[in-house]
Structure 1
Amino acid sequence: MTLSQKPFPEFLKDFEKTLAHLFHDHADINKLSLVRGLPADILSGIMAKNPLSVAIPSDFGGRGSIVKECLGILSAASYESLSLSLTFGINIALFLEPVSKYADEAVKKEIFDRFLKEANMGGLMITEPNYGSDALNMKTANRETENGYQIKGQKHWQGLTGMADYWLIASRKELANGELARDIDFFICDISKDKQKIVVEELFDNPGLYLIPYGLNTVDIEVPKNYRLQPESTGIKMMLDILHRSRLQFPGMGMGFIKRMLDEAIKQCTNRIVGTSNLLALDGVQFQLARIQTAFTIASAMCAKSSKISGIAYDLATEGIQANTMKAVVTDLMQESAQLLVQLSGASGYKTTHIGGRGIMDSRPFQIFEGSNEMLYAQIADMVLRMMKKQKQTSFFDFLKDFGLTAESSTHFKKDLSFSINGSLSQRKLVDLGKIIARIVCVGYVIELEQNGFRKDLVNNCIVMVQQEVAGLMSAFHFENTVNVIEDYNSNSLWMDFA
């Protein structure tokens, strides 16, 4: 039976068993996670199961690039190791799916064969030392040559630095006058080929995600003409489609991680005896556990929704609200769930060998990379305000009840949402408003999941918990705070002078 023929539940169960054996019987994941990089025997054992086949089209021997299967693999991996899941996420969303959708047909077979038969990996290079989220001003340049394209520049903070066999490299065309074009081009780089070697200048000492190498890369390569990705319209829209698809698949990485936090927290509170009963008897503990369980419910709903809308057949360039919502909310929930588990675990949770303590550091960068959450929330609010302005609508609730993503969920928040927005908002207010909108969108996903048969008690609990969170966010939104930092604060501010 080939990979593409094996039923996915069977394929996934076999993969989960392999991870459990490699991380708990063959080795100790708690100790492995403190070492830079994944030992070769562990990695080869994992890759022998061909987990990345889920993102390879069936015409090339893969399982067909079915989003549900991709998210299932990401979730299974993140239950055991968030680093491993991110490794797969980089390969799937930032290399294999873009290649499947935009690469020249003539280059696909060799790439997919090497992934299936030689356990190759690929990543994406966009971020530059002086241009983080400001990707449109990147300075990496490309120019056409007789044999292809020459690409020069520097990139940093690429996951799988020095480890990937392939890269997608973003750059801008060098114009005749020496300036760089506004549009973005993407090129495939195969480091096994002459003139395509990436020089790793430095490996970074990232404090979490130890298994993934990050670093500074110097690019000075020449690639064939057919290694350029072919956008359907513009390169910028292609980049948005790629990044939005990646953000829409973050819930897969969050799902397994949050479930692990929940399982560990329930086990800890069941077994930990305080006085005459366990921790579950404490009301405050019940609230903390309910927070993690709400995260589990929201992540489940996101995965179900993403499975329907984020396949490579769809153009996601205009799906900014949904992409930003899923990425920002699920990564906030990942970090909160890890923090809550550590709190519930007491002193034992404050260890790097503890899944919660390690989870705090491993999940923290998820709130930063691929767009910091504050930036994404501000963008969500800005997109909604632009739509309201276009419709000449000032009532926030009236807009949300007629907006597709919030039509059903907004009624659960009517009391808090019944106010008007007139004029522009400060950036800090946009962030607050974006958080509110994103959580209401997520409740819409949860309601949709319930309609498909998901258990009602988890849904009801989730809605109540999000209602409380939105009420708190609304309070922050309405509170007037224009305080700015006092840069020369050292003058007349030493407490010892006044004691």
Structure 2
Amino acid sequence: MSITITNSVFSTFIENFRTNLKQLFHQTYNIDELSAERGLPADLLDGIMKMRPLSVAIPEEYGGRGVIVKECLSVLAAASYESLPLSLTFGINIALFLEPLSKYGDSSVKMGVFSRFLENQNMGGLMITEPNYGSDALNMKTSNKLTPDGYHIKGTKHWQGLTGMADYWLIASRKENDNGELGRDIDFFLCDNTLPGQQIKVTEYYDNPGLLMIPYGLNELDIVVPEYHKLKPESTGIKMMLDILHRSRLQFPGMGMGFIHRMLDEAVQHCNNRIVGGSNLLAMDNVQFQITRLQSAYTICSAMCARSSAISGIDHSLAAEGLEANAMKAVVTDLMQESAQLLVQLSGANGYRTSHIGGRGIMDSRPFQIFEGSNEMLYAQIADMVLRAMKKEKQSHLYEFLKLFKPTARASAHFQNDLSFTISTEIPQRKLVDLGKALARVVCAGYVLELEDKGFRKDLAEHSILSLKQEVATLICAFQFDNTITTVKDYLDGSAWFDFV
């Protein structure tokens, strides 16, 4: 078994995977009908998992393909072309379970876990978020305490993808000290949900409006796991958590790649075939513009995948790579949502149906802008990182700093006209978001230029850079516009229009 998986040529592996997915979703089953229902038929899921797609995230010594990032992203892209929820299911397993376990797990547990993934189609997820502590993960209240039987883990977690479905979990918690207070560091533990004493109770399933294939809910933890189920950080648990989350964000482009590709293909096909006034939609100038937006998204995401393949392997420490991780995650998820919106707009009324790939794509891609850090928060963090670096260098001119700043140096000259101004270090949060959006797109423009250097087709790259320049110009205009309006209290007083007619 392991020899077949390890030695198979990847091009054959991924092509067979694409072909079989297409057959399962369009011939054996109807993906358009399935997408309106929660979950997947057991036979369909079994047919997908029998292709061992998750073998790409398992080390060779345990029978897998070797945790090669470009292979992991290719599997995510192939899945998201047909089904974004399926790709997210794989993404959860790969980036939030298999890769962390490969890097930080005790060697004594790896063979058993990886074997069950390959032979029994098991799945795993990650538990960090709590009802009162979403992005504020460092203040989580789930506790762990060492007892004679192992680590006793107690707490509440929610919004974990694959709730009630995963066989394994990696659970984040804080050490309970002798005085009952919780330590500042974060610990992670492997939980085998199939074993007595480690079973997690699902007290509620959430009615998420998109991603219907994936169950989310509320989980109550009161379990005991063996000591060797504790993950081993290279330094601190907080840095381990950052490494895990940054690696996951850097692999979002894999899920975005196939999805954006599908939106583009569907849009081009529809606009070619739809005849209005004696010619097809592609003859219209604004339709051309909308298609170029989709092609730009396709190009940017391709460049992100190339960059991620080079830097996000488990042999890299990503704890300090927040700027690139935030930029990739936020920009690609914005592009996913925009791509779905564009397809629906181009498709007219037919696009506004759950049976249409664009209609459900809007709902399925929307939460990507929220989970693993809302995009507004990530953009604000990007701006704050740059401002702190500028302050350290005692530089107040944005362009003069960016042209020497490694993440932006490659592309900054393309944006010189818009970025040539002096910037204050005291900026309202709303302005940090605008600035972060612009800076993230400059970073991504650098990825496009790097990919073009390697031989990616020049016209797509040039069009993408032009599109990014327009977007950055708009964002900088918003950043510089003086808007300090605040919420009006008791807004209902004196605001009933009927009284003034």
TM exceeding 0.5: yes
Show CA shifts across 1:358-409 (max 9, x none).
0000000000000000000000000010000000000100111001111120
Q: Are positions 1:456 and 2:458 aligned together?
A: yes
Structure 2 match to 1:203: 205
On the 8 A contact 2:387/2:425 being kept in 1, the answer is no
Counting only pairs closer than 5 Å after superposition, residues 264-413 of structure 1 correspond to structure 2 as: 264-413=266-415
Show CA shifts across 1:1-22 (max 9, x none).
6111001110000000110010
Q: Are positions 1:238 and 2:214 aligned together?
A: no
Structure 1 match to 2:23: 21
AA matched with 2:52: N
AA matched with 1:323: A
Instruction: Classify the secondary structure of the residue corresponding to 2:271.
Output: helix
Percent identity at matched positions? Answer: 69
Instruction: Classify the secondary structure of the residue corresponding to 1:189.
Output: strand
AA matched with 1:306: S
Counting only pairs closer than 5 Å after superposition, residues 57-456 of structure 1 correspond to structure 2 as: 57-456=59-458
CA distance in 1, matches of 2:57, 2:436: 32
**How far is the alpha carbon of 1:423 from its aligned partner?**
3.1
Show CA shifts across 1:112-143 (max 9, x none).
00000000000000000011100000000000
The count of residues paired between Structure 1 and Structure 2 equals 499
AA matched with 2:332: V
Instruction: Classify the secondary structure of the residue corresponding to 2:129.
Output: coil
AA matched with 1:75: A
Instruction: Classify the secondary structure of the residue corresponding to 2:189.
Output: strand
Show CA shifts across 1:199-228 (max 9, x none).
000000100000000000000000000000
**How far is the alpha carbon of 1:237 from its aligned partner?**
0.2
- Specify which of 12, 22, 26 is matched with residue 10 of structure 1: 12
**How far is the alpha carbon of 1:193 from its aligned partner?**
1.0
AA matched with 1:144: L
Instruction: Classify the secondary structure of the residue corresponding to 1:406.
Output: helix
Show CA shifts across 1:430-485 (max 9, x none).
10110011000000000000000000000010011111111100110000111111
**How far is the alpha carbon of 1:147 from its aligned partner?**
2.1
**How far is the alpha carbon of 1:194 from its aligned partner?**
1.3
AA matched with 1:423: T
Counting only pairs closer than 5 Å after superposition, residues 466-485 of structure 1 correspond to structure 2 as: 466-485=468-487
On the 8 A contact 2:391/2:425 being kept in 1, the answer is no
Show CA shifts across 1:249-268 (max 9, x none).
00000000000000000001
CA distance in 1, matches of 2:322, 2:194: 36
Show CA shifts across 1:275-298 (max 9, x none).
110000000000100001100000
Q: TM-score, normalised on structure 2? A: 0.99
AA matched with 2:37: V
AA matched with 1:492: G
Instruction: Classify the secondary structure of the residue corresponding to 1:377.
Output: helix
CA distance in 2, matches of 1:17, 1:280: 30
Q: TM-score, normalised on structure 1? A: 1.00
CA distance in 1, matches of 2:32, 2:143: 42
CA distance in 2, matches of 1:487, 1:108: 57
AA matched with 2:185: D
On the 8 A contact 2:153/2:224 being kept in 1, the answer is yes
**How far is the alpha carbon of 1:422 from its aligned partner?**
2.2
Counting only pairs closer than 5 Å after superposition, residues 481-496 of structure 1 correspond to structure 2 as: 481-496=483-498
CA distance in 1, matches of 2:487, 2:35: 39
Instruction: Classify the secondary structure of the residue corresponding to 2:204.
Output: strand
Show CA shifts across 1:161-206 (max 9, x none).
0000000000000011111101000000001111000000000010
Instruction: Classify the secondary structure of the residue corresponding to 2:191.
Output: strand
CA distance in 1, matches of 2:128, 2:194: 21
CA distance in 2, matches of 1:297, 1:285: 18
CA distance in 2, matches of 1:167, 1:18: 29
CA distance in 2, matches of 1:105, 1:378: 39
**How far is the alpha carbon of 1:487 from its aligned partner?**
2.7
CA distance in 2, matches of 1:296, 1:487: 44
Instruction: Classify the secondary structure of the residue corresponding to 2:456.
Output: coil
AA matched with 1:136: L
Instruction: Classify the secondary structure of the residue corresponding to 1:402.
Output: coil
Runs of 4+ in 1 over 2 A off after TM superposition: none
CA distance in 2, matches of 1:150, 1:423: 46
Show CA shifts across 1:403-424 (max 9, x none).
1111120100100000011231
